[in-house]
Amino acid sequence: MKKTLMCTVAAFTLATSAAQAEGITVLVEGGGHSLQQAVADAFTKETGIEVTFVEVPYQGVYDKLSAEIASGTSNYDVATIDVVWNAAFAPHVEDLSELFTEAVKADLPPALLADANVGGEMIGMPTWANAEIVFYRKDLWEDPANQAAFKEQYGYDLAPPATWQQWRDMAKFFTKDGMYGTDVIGGTSEEWMAEVLQAGSPGVILDDSGNVILDNPAHIEALENYRAPLCEDKSVPDNALEISWGEAQNLFYQGQTAMMKFWAHAYRMTPEDSKIAGKVGVAPMIGGSAGIAGIPGPWYNVIPSSSQHKDAARQFIAYAIAHNALGIEAPLGLAATNSAYQSYMGKPGYEHFGPLMATLSAPATKGRPLNQHYQELVDEAVMPAFQGALECEDNVAELLQEAAATARDILGQ
């Protein structure tokens, strides 16, 4: 009897530990969960390894993972993190270089590969990527009366804007009948950062060597151009500092703006009861002297050094990138690899993938600086200068020089 009992206990213990080994826990933000659920289901079916998602709000990913690392314990085997945290977590996650095979590298936009590389190690695998593209009202652009009037006024055909000048011209043209041409977002600075790259800057805020370039000619030129619709053309709502992503989207959906720059995923999310439903067209991000450029918004799968199931975690990450297209059916409908996007090219409802790929793959597209003080640089140096410029009074060059001095102070340069 005793022997039977001991055998049962031993079998139970083995079964339990085997079950534990056959499961991984993934820390993820809400949107990321839905994008990875299909791939997790397929992975479990194929390998038998269970995938449990711990879903937290956006900031919760950073908070929980840092607390985990700080405590030295491990609850998470994989964490899906925003690119802006790559530098901060780099010393505390596994090097995934061996997962970046030639095939994987060839299938990813260069900007996403560059963002994965921190200090010579590939610290994370892209899971999906987003970028701002141009959203415009097809009904307005295709209206013959508008086309004729625009050509007469500006001397060229009305088509989706592709350059800085066209953007300003069209914004001015459509500022009529109680509608604004577009909006200027003052709550966050990413849209201006994209213009900094379009103006030919070697980076945003910092160059590749980590030197502060916040006051270089491209930053100044881009900020002058960014605020022009607000301060000179009056083709946008004048409360730019109150406008962030949500407000910009609302203005467009309410028919108060004719066009906007916005993250590509929104193309499939136009509310059905919106007065512009079915009338939205998309185009690649506009270009400056350096051509099209965007700030990618990729997320990366990383393996915390404290993970107890690193092999299973690696298997999951390798499987996820190989089956990247599975996430596209999720509400956000995003992926990271070129092949995933290409597999949906031409399908109705996915017209935004072309402009998104064109933007992500543009030579001037580049990620935000991989610096562990990035958030502090933005909050303390960039935002005061950026928002100061949008009050339309101060000199842009002087504001950016002050911001650069603050940034150098933060970095001890």
Partner 1 sequence: MGERRFVLLMLMPAALFLGFLVSYPVALLVYNSFFEVSLIDPSSRVWVGLANYVDALTSKRILESALRTLKYSAFALFFELLFGLGAALLFAAIAKRSQWHRTIFALPLMISPIVAGLLWRFLLVGNIGILNYGLAALGVIPDPGAIKWLSDTDIVIYSVAAADIWLTTSFVALVSYAGLTNIPQDVLEAARIDGTNAVTRFWYVTLPMLRPVLAVVVVVRGIDALKTFDLIWIQTQGGPRQASEVLSMNIYQRMVRYGDLGQASATATLFLVFMIGLAGLAYWKVWRTGND
- Measured in whole angstroms, the distance separating CA 378 from the mean position of its chain's CA atoms is 16
**Inter-residue contact 299 to 80 (CB < 8 Å):** yes
Tell me whether residue 101 or residue 375 sits nearer to partner 1 (CB atom).
Answer: 375
Question: What is the DSSP annotation of 124-163?
Answer: -EEEE---EEEEEEHHHHT-HHHHHHHHHHHSS---S--B
Tell me whether residue 39 or residue 223 sits nearer to partner 1 (CB atom).
Answer: 223
Least separation, in Å, of the C-beta of 244 and partner 1? 9
Query: In the 8-state DSSP scheme, what is residue 118?
Result: E
Q: Which residue in 135, 410, 383, 81 sits closest to 274, CA to CA?
A: 135
**Inter-residue contact 388 to 399 (CB < 8 Å):** yes
Least separation, in Å, of the C-beta of 260 and partner 1? 13
Tell me whether residue 57 or residue 144 sits nearer to partner 1 (CB atom).
Answer: 57
Q: Which residue in 344, 316, 412 sits closest to 373, CA to CA?
A: 412
Tell me whether residue 161 or residue 388 sits nearer to partner 1 (CB atom).
Answer: 388
Tell me whether residue 27 or residue 340 sits nearer to partner 1 (CB atom).
Answer: 27
- Measured in whole angstroms, the distance separating CA 356 from the mean position of its chain's CA atoms is 11
Per the listing, tokens 């009202």 go with: 137
Least separation, in Å, of the C-beta of 125 and partner 1? 21
Least separation, in Å, of the C-beta of 240 and partner 1? 7
Q: Which residue in 291, 312, 313 sits closest to 304, CA to CA?
A: 313
Question: What is the DSSP annotation of 153-180?
Answer: HHSS---S--BHHHHHHHHHHT-BTTBB
What is the number of residues in the chain? 413
* Distance (Å, whole) CA 241 – CA 139: 29
Tell me whether residue 325 or residue 411 sits nearer to partner 1 (CB atom).
Answer: 411
Q: Is 78 left (phi over 0), alpha (psi -120 to 50) or beta?
A: beta
Tell me whether residue 186 or residue 281 sits nearer to partner 1 (CB atom).
Answer: 186
* Distance (Å, whole) CA 144 – CA 164: 24
Tell me whether residue 166 or residue 256 sits nearer to partner 1 (CB atom).
Answer: 256
**Inter-residue contact 404 to 207 (CB < 8 Å):** no
Q: Which residues bind partner 1 (CB under 8 A)?
A: 59, 62-63, 66, 69-70, 88-89, 91-92, 186-187, 237-243, 247, 250-251, 254, 256, 372-373, 375-376, 379, 383-384, 387-388
Least separation, in Å, of the C-beta of 293 and partner 1? 26
* Distance (Å, whole) CA 353 – CA 345: 7
Tell me whether residue 35 or residue 206 sits nearer to partner 1 (CB atom).
Answer: 206
Least separation, in Å, of the C-beta of 236 and partner 1? 10
Least separation, in Å, of the C-beta of 394 and partner 1? 11
Least separation, in Å, of the C-beta of 20 and partner 1? 27
Least separation, in Å, of the C-beta of 319 and partner 1? 29
Query: Would you state the structure tokens that stand for residue 174, as one six-digit string?
Result: 């459509």
Q: Which residue in 178, 184, 173 sits closest to 150, CA to CA?
A: 173
